[in-house]
Amino acid sequence: MSNESPKMWSGRFREPLDRTFEQWQRSFPFDWRLLPQEVAASQAHAHTIAAASILTPEELEKMLRGLEAVGLRTSNWAHRISATSGEPDYETSTQQVGAAIVASAPQAEDIHHYVELELTREVGGLALKLHTGRSRNEQIATDMRLFVRDAIDATLAGLQAWLAALLTLAETSGTAVMPSYTHLQRAEPVLVAHWLLAYVSMLERDFSRFTDARTRMNFCPLGSGAVAGATLALDRSIAAKALGFTAPTPNSMDATSDRDFMLDFAQAASTLGIHISRFAEELTLYATAEFGFVDLPEAYSTGSSAMPQKKNPDLTELARGKSARLLGAATSLATLIKGLPLAYNKDLQEGQEQIFDVADTLRGLLSVLPGFTRSLKFRFERMESAAQTGYLNAMAAATYLSNKGVPFRKAHEIIGNAVRLGLDKGLELNALPLAELQALSEHFAEDFYAAISLRATLDCHDVTGGTATSRVAQALSEAKRRVAALPPAEAAHG
């Protein structure tokens, strides 16, 4: 260990660390991303210890300014990088800023050590007072909560944008019709808007899952010390308030080792990922020549280097694939946490990268899905003709008979026979002559044909949540009202 950069814990050690181990156990190569959170939490802690008379008002001022200068360094790196390489995308610039910061401080063990070293450069020996009454165990717990809270807010904003795009698409689909499927076999006709509103329902639940997770996690670990609570009588409400938390956490052992908030976030992200993946899967299928329901927007597709005719659904395939990372992260975190004795264990350091990956993956997905959704062009005529072939009106036909007093079980049997007849003759139900139908049941009459028309087949589903035209119009306007009333992400909980 070199002299000019002592560790935060070197006093009791006489032997230097094994070089390879030292590098291997460092978290700075990834936890540099917590710089804004570490600076904010450190400033909040500075206020707390100043209130306990550990810092004079002048020292507090100096400390706050020094921390701000350390924090500004990230944006300076970002600025320098975009000045030299134009406007890199989010991921490239994150990687470049990270590489620059990490290379600038090869001696930093983790983000806490880095800020202390940098703060020493800014304000000299005063920097060493900042650690009074705190531990890295509460710091990392606080930084991660702040990071997850921001990531949730970004996700909520992204979900709102995607919801708005789905609602617009549902609205512009009007009364267009498509087949619905069960077992991936044609089932009954539905409105295209009804199908899209199914995804709106899923995303509304996702929104509420992230919102719940945010409410549950919004408590401040600062003041929990290493495990048993700070060794000074600190007013923990000062930092909690400064950082926008609802209150201080109630138990120091839990607060320093709890990562449920990360798990909640990753699990909510997994469920969202599953919904994204289902949407992506359907669009991938519907864009095949076999279905031909949708024209993939060129702006979101790629070609093949080998086959000149190809237009490939890379966006939906990647979206489907990325959900695997989200599920993987949730599984990793659950496995990481499940065997840990109270309280802090270094294993927990391993959870950070999972969360960064979840946040980045969600940010990426939600950056493309709204635009992709808005630019989808459906082939309504193909959807409608698919909805009119394959006896999708058979249930409406059975309902017709049951309305005539035939018990449904019997009606089902009779229509089954009619379908069999149609299959043998190569005719849909509405093309079967009345006389042949009447040979199957005396209850068939001329009004049968109107009862199994496409519109009648839709409109007989006249229940809340059903696909009758008027019900879907109502469902759409209710969904629009609910989505418009969702709280703007940052203001959601204050």
Which residues participate in catalysis according to the annotation?
Answer: 183, 304
> ∠ CA 284-323-146 to the nearest 5 degrees?
140
Nearer to ligand ARG among residue 110 and residue 188 (C-beta): 110
> Minimum CB separation from ligand ARG for residue 337, in Å?
13
- Contact residues toward ligand ARG (CB under 6 A) are 27, 110, 136-137, 140, 344, 346, 348-349
CA atoms of 51 and 62, how far apart (whole Å): 15
> Minimum CB separation from ligand ARG for residue 344, in Å?
6
Nearer to ligand ARG among residue 265 and residue 344 (C-beta): 344
Q: How many CB atoms lie within 10 A of CB 401?
A: 24
Nearer to ligand ARG among residue 34 and residue 452 (C-beta): 34
> Minimum CB separation from ligand ARG for residue 195, in Å?
45
Helix (H, G, I), strand (E, B) or coil at 339: coil
CA atoms of 258 and 263, how far apart (whole Å): 10
- Residue 60 contacts residue 47 (beta carbons within 8 Å): yes
Nearer to ligand ARG among residue 38 and residue 206 (C-beta): 38
The pairing of strands 219-220 and 247-248 is parallel
> Minimum CB separation from ligand ARG for residue 245, in Å?
20
The pairing of strands 294-295 and 247-248 is unpaired
Q: Report CA Rg, the chain.
A: 30
- Cβ neighbours of residue 82 closer than 8 Å, sequence gap 6 or more: 88, 93
Nearer to ligand ARG among residue 27 and residue 218 (C-beta): 27
Tokens for 448, please give them: 């049968």
> Minimum CB separation from ligand ARG for residue 65, in Å?
25
Closest to 140 (Cα-Cα) out of 294, 266, 30 = 30
CA atoms of 418 and 394, how far apart (whole Å): 9
- Residue 444 contacts residue 434 (beta carbons within 8 Å): yes
Tokens for 396, please give them: 């409406």
